[in-house]
Each structure stands twice: as structure tokens, then as C-alpha cells.
């Protein structure tokens, strides 16, 4: 086995017992990155020299000592180029680390590169990147999803041991689903946003993308915790991974019927229903939820709120500070700025933005209502498996439609996870999402872990 194919625990055990060195582990990941660079295009920047230098002095006593990690390119990394996959920031090198990066470095992780993404995180395909699209390791004619498509593809292709992404309305879970890996989106505020290039500040949630559930939980332990630099940060200590469950007795799991829209791919629906049977055999009570608010309302709410916040957040990237003016924004960024400015303008604010905020409150209330009946909700991550190259072109609402089943929980600030649960007839991965109430990452971990122990979908690898 090449060392880059190891999961986090296997890599840590191997380093601890001196079966191999951090330099050897890093080298195997860099070799894999180089091998796939012209096809997958997972990385915008590769940190070969610095990673190998750090590996020589890796402190293996630390939780992530000597472990190679891939970082989504909207996290500020000191002395490493950070572009958000936008040409406007092509030469931007931050003078500081995002809080999450600081924590990962303190834990001993070694950055092997910054991963490709939709420019400014605007999209769900990684086709809007100004540095070229990323492709799906399972089929190079298909997309990896987005906006964290580079991170998901890198883990799927074993180009790193662990990675981090960020989610605003599905950008961790959807690409993880399409690439057949695990994506853990924490409660809003669980992980600091400080130092992450903002897209929609009121829902942005950094989180791990990994090869299995335990790896994701380990990363979340390190990434989480209160940050005085982030006013939206939850005032709690770091999250701690709970004990595994041996069965699911007394656990009620809900299946929202509205999460199976008419356009859903039949194989996706079948896999989710089969997954519910696995939970049922483990002792859970499966309850159909017939009155969950239709996700189509989340599409409208998210579109208005996201564009509005984009118009505000991107206003800072102007003039001499970053070296380019607004003409360097891509088409999608310009479109979102214009729509957002319109929604916030005098005479339209009440009709659009304020109304969207009111419906957002109704979505939150609806989840509260559902969670009074069940402990967790499961459903598909996306209506389809990975779509073909070019699917997003000319489709202004592509991202919203592909994320329609994860947008509601993101809007409500809820934690969620995507775990592999099957494959379609073309051997493209299918993801199962588990949603729980705010701050219940413990239950999400326990449900995802016991599902993983009783299936082998997460062990399947693409044939590159």
C-alpha cells in the first residue's frame, strides 16, 4: 500500500511505531498530487518544499504530528498564497493564519497544498474556479461538486490524509457525497470563521472532509472551540468525540418525505431507503415526517440572503489593497453582487431581504417542531449523483438546485454529515445526510459511526 492511501488513525499509528517517517508519508501524498495534477486539478497551490522541510522536524507527540493536510483555498494561511480560486487574489499572501489553521498547525498538521474551489465559493461544481475546474476521481467526465470540490476530490484520490472545507449551504456535504468521502458540517459557530474569506457570513461553517467518520470527528475536536476573534463563535470549549453506540434502541430517526422531490434520481432514493433499514435493524425507530417544510422555500430564501451578503462581503476586495479592481471579478461574482445590491436597495429591502429573513425564521421553527418528534433526520444529500462536466454552465441556479436538500439545515445553523451509502449504475457514489439539532454533533457522530461499522461503502476507492 502507498502511504497516501492510509486514513488518519493508520497514519498516526505508523508514525508512532516508526514503520515510516513523516517525510515518507508527505512524499507519497505529493507524488499522488503530481500524478493527478493534469487530470483532477485538485490543488491551486502545492507546498512541496515547506511540507518536506516541516516533515523533517515533525513532533509526533502531537495529535496530528507529521500528518499531511489539504486546505481549501479560502482559509488564510500565513506565507502561503490564498486565492479563493479567484484571479483577483492570484498573488495574495496573507500575513496571518485563520484560527482553524493555527489550531491545526499547533496540533502538528503539515499543509501539503491549498485546494481548488468555486471562485469565492460561488457554486456547487468547482467549475467556476478561475484556475480551471476540478474533476471527480470516480469518473473524469463528471464534476466533484462544490464549492469544496478540490478538498473532496483530494481525499477521494488519496492526495492527502485529511482535509478541511467550508460550507455555506452544502459546500462540505454535497462534494463529499459526489466524491464518496465523509464531510462533517458543524453547528454554525462551533468552528471559528476568523481568517476565512467570507461568502455568506451568517451561515459559513468550516469543517472536515475525510476518509471516514472517526477522522472527521478527530479533526472537529481540534478545529472547534470559542474564538474571541469571531463574534459568532459559540462560547464553549472544544467539542469532544463521544463514546460509540452499540445499538440504536430508543433513538428516533425521521425521514422527511419532502426530501424526495420528483426530480430525484431513483438510485439515490433507493439507497437512502436501504440505509434507513440498516438503522432500523440496529434498533432505531424510523418515522416518516410528512409535513417538513418543502426545501424549495429554502432555495428562495438562500438565494436572496446569500446574494445580499455577497454584495457586502465582496465590497472590500476593491482598489489597491489586493492589487486589482472589480473588473477582475468573474461573471458569477458580478451576477451575485448585482442581485444582492438590488435586494438590499431602497424600495426592495422589505419585499425581498426582510421577507427572506422571516421565512428563514419559519424554517428554523419547522426544524424545532420536527426535532420534538425525532432525535435525528436522515435523507439524501443531493437529488442526483455527480453530474457531467459542463452541467453548471448557463445554469444560474445550478448550485441552489443541487444543494436544495442541505440548504434548509445550513440556513438553520444545524450540524450535519454526509457519509457514503451506495453507488449508482455508473459506480458514482451516493451520500446519506444525517441532521441533528444545534450542538448535537455527538449524536451525528454516533449515528454515522454505527452506520459505517455496519457497511463498507466508505472503503471503496476510485480507480484512477
DSSP code at position 172: T
Domains annotated on the chain, with CATH: 3-294+361-459 (3.90.1300.10)
Long-range contacts, stretch 352-359, CB < 8 angstroms, 24+ apart: 352/304, 353/304, 353/305, 353/308, 356/300, 356/301, 356/304, 356/305, 357/305, 359/297, 359/300, 359/301
> 444 falls in which pLDDT band (50, 70, 90)?
very high
Give 315's pLDDT tier (boundaries 50, 70, 90): confident
Say whether pTM exceeds 0.75.
yes
Query: Distance between CA atoms of 360 and 381, rounded to whole angstroms?
Result: 20
| Per-residue pLDDT tens over the stretch 71-117 | 999 999 999 999 999 999 999 999 999 999 999 999 999 999 999 99
Percent of the chain whose pLDDT exceeds 90: 91
Residue 52 pLDDT class (50, 70, 90 cuts)? very high
Distance CA 357, CA 350 (A): 10
| Position 394 confidence tier, pLDDT thresholds 50, 70, 90 | confident
User: Residue 44 in contact with residue 87, Cβ under 8 Å?
Assistant: no
**Residue 206 confidence (pLDDT):** 98
Q: How confident is the model at residue 319 (pLDDT cuts 50, 70, 90)?
A: low
CA distance 398 to 48: 35
More confident of the two residues 418 and 350? 418
Rounded distance, CA 61 to CA 16, Å? 8
Mean pLDDT check: name the lowest of 314-318, 416-420, 446-450: 314-318
The average confidence (pLDDT) of the chain is 96
The pLDDT of 177-188, averaged and rounded, is 98
- Place 118 in a pLDDT band, splitting at 50, 70 and 90: very high
Nearest alpha carbon to residue 272 among 458, 89, 433, 33 = 433
pLDDT digit string, tens, across residues 195-226? 999 999 999 999 999 999 999 999 999 999 99
Beta strands (DSSP E) in 241-301 are 252-256, 285-289
pLDDT, tens digit, 9 for 90 and up, residues 121-164 = 999 999 999 999 999 999 999 999 999 999 999 999 999 999 99
Which pLDDT value is given to residue 398? 75
Q: Rounded to an integer, what distance in angstroms lies between the CA atom of residue 444 and that of residue 116? A: 28
Question: According to the model, what pLDDT value does residue 364 have?
Answer: 98
Q: Where in the sequence numbering do the catalytic residues fall?
A: 72, 147, 171
Whole-number pLDDT of residue 395 = 76
Spatial neighbors of 231 by CB under 8 A, at least 6 apart, are none
To which H or E segment does residue 156 belong?
helix 149-156
What is the pLDDT averaged over residues 404-411? 96
Residue 397, pLDDT above cutoff 70: no
Amino acid at each position: 500500500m502507498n502511504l497516501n492511501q492510509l486514513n488518519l488513525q493508520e497514519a498516526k499509528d505508523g508514525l508512532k511505531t516508526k514503520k515510516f517517517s513523516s517525510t515518507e508519508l508527505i512524499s507519497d501524498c505529493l507524488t499522488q498530487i503530481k500524478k493527478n495534477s493534469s487530470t483532477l486539478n485538485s490543488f491551486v497551490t502545492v507546498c512541496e518544499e515547506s511540507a518536506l522541510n516541516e516533515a523533517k522536524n515533525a513532533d509526533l507527540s502531537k495529535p496530528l504530528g507529521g500528518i499531511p493536510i489539504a486546505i481549501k483555498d479560502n482559509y488564510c494561511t500565513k506565507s502561503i498564497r490564498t486565492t479563493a480560486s479567484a484571479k483577483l487574489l492570484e498573488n495574495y499572501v496573507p500575513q496571518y493564519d485563520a484560527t482553524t489553521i493555527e489550531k491545526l498547525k499547533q496540533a502538528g498538521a503539515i499543509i501539503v497544498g491549498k485546494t481548488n474551489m468555486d471562485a469565492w465559493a460561488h457554486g456547487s461544481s468547482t467549475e467556476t474556479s478561475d484556475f480551471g475546474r476540478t474533476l471527480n476521481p470516480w469518473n473524469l467526465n463528471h464534476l466533484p461538486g462544490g464549492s469544496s470540490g478540490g478538498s473532496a476530490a483530494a481525499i477521494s484520490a488519496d492526495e492527502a490524509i485529511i482535509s478541511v472545507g467550508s460550507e455555506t449551504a452544502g459546500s462540505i456535504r454535497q462534494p463529499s457525497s459526489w466524491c464518496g468521502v465523509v464531510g462533517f458540517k458543524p453547528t454554525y459557530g462551533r468552528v471559528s470563521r476568523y481568517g476565512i474569506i467570507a461568502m455568506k457570513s451568517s451561515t459559513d461553517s468550516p469543517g472536515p472532509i475525510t476518509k471516514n467518520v472517526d477522522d472527521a470527528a478527530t479533526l472537529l475536536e481540534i478545529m472547534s472551540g470559542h474564538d474571541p476573534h469571531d463574534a459568532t463563535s459559540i462560547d464553549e470549549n472544544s467539542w469532544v468525540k463521544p463514546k460509540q453506540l452499540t445499538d440504536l434502541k430508543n433513538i428516533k430517526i425521521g425521514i422527511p418525505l419532502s426530501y424526495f422531490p420528483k426530480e430525484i434520481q431513483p438510485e439515490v432514493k433507493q439507497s437512502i431507503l436501504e440505509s434507513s433499514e440498516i438503522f432500523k435493524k440496529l434498533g432505531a425507530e424510523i418515522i416518516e415526517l410528512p409535513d417538513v417544510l418543502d426545501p424549495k422555500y429554502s432555495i428562495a430564501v438562500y438565494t436572496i440572503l446569500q446574494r445580499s451578503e455577497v454584495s457586502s462581503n465582496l465590497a472590500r476586495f476593491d482598489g489597491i489593497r489586493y492589487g486589482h479592481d472589480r473588473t477582475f471579478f468573474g461573471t458569477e461574482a458580478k451576477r451575485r453582487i448585482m442581485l444582492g445590491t438590488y435586494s438590499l436597495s431602497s424600495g426592495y429591502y422589505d419585499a425581498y431581504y426582510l421577507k427572506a429573513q422571516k421565512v428563514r425564521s419559519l424554517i428554523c421553527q419547522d426544524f424545532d417542531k420536527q426535532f420534538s418528534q425525532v432525535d435525528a433526520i436522515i435523507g439524501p444529500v443531493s437529488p442526483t449523483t455527480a453530474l457531467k462536466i459542463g452541467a453548471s454552465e448557463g445554469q444560474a441556479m445550478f448550485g441552489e438546485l443541487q444543494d436544495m436538500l442541505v440548504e434548509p439545515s445550513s440556513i438553520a445553523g444545524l450540524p450535519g454529515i454526509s457519509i457514503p451509502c451506495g453507488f449508482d449504475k455508473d459506480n458514482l457514489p451516493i451520500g446519506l445526510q444525517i441532521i441533528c439539532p444545534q450542538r448535537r454533533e455527538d449524536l451525528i457522530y454516533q449515528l454515522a459511526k454505527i452506520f459505517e461499522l455496519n457497511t463498507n461503502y466508505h472503503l471503496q476507492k476510485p480507480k484512477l
